Amino acid sequence: MSGCVILTEPCHDERYVAVAGSVIDGGAQIASVTANLHADRGLQGLSFTWQFAAPSLEGHITSAVLVSSTRPVPILLNLPIREPLEPWGYQYAYFGTMEQRFGETTPALGGIFEVLAAGDGVVELTTELPVQPLVRIPLAVTQKADWHESGCRS
């Protein structure tokens, strides 16, 4: 087989869930969130990515957390807040990624898939505004795939 290259990819199991939610008050969108969690066995581990926009709250958000709607305590994840550098489209966006490699314990992403896939995820934004100290954004599943083989060639 001179001159031939045999392509092989590692076979691994993966699953993912994508969620989105928004809060509207008086016809105006207060905040919106999109997030996804990807897990794979045999490659890297768990990856959680989020993005939220809250134009009317920009500069006033003091914390963002992911909780379960059925068990709001304990907090599942603290989502670090960094002020947006530039407008993203017409909204100011906050975003981030967390990765938990196999064998590592932080960030603790175990159990997040189950909460999001069940439609129980809620992002809570705490602000310094007396009229809106807490904004709760329920997350609905937009895409989901449980464990399945990926990267396998026969």
How large is the average pLDDT for residues 135-143?
Answer: 97
Q: Is the pLDDT of residue 1 over 50?
A: no
Q: What is the pLDDT of residue 86?
A: 54
The pTM of the whole model exceeds 0.85: no
Using 50, 70 and 90 to split pLDDT, how confident is the model at 151? low
Distance CA 122, CA 138 (A): 4
Residue 98's identity, in one-letter code, is M
Q: Is the pLDDT of residue 32 over 50?
A: yes
Residues 39, 15 contacting (CB under 8 angstroms): yes
Using CA of residue 32, residue 112, residue 49, residue 58, what is the dihedral sign?
positive
How large is the average pLDDT for residues 135-149?
Answer: 89
DSSP string, 33-71: EEEEEEEEESSSEEEEEEEEE-GGGTTTEEEEEEEESS-
Distance CA 37, CA 123 (A): 14
Mean pLDDT of the chain: 83
Distance CA 67, CA 72 (A): 5
Q: Is the pLDDT of residue 153 over 70?
A: no
Q: What is the pLDDT of residue 122?
A: 97
Nearest residue to 139 via CA among 22, 5, 13, 1:
22
pLDDT tens digit sequence for 82-130 = 665 555 454 556 888 899 887 888 888 888 999 999 999 999 999 999 9
Q: What is the pLDDT of residue 80?
A: 86
pLDDT tens digit sequence for 53-78 = 888 888 889 999 999 999 877 889 99
Domains and CATH numbers, the chain: 12-149 (2.60.40)
Q: Is the pLDDT of residue 19 over 80?
A: yes
Tokens of 63: 């914390």
> How many Cα atoms sit within 13 Å of 44 on the Cβ side?
11
Cis preceding-peptide flag for 138 (omega within 30 of 0): no
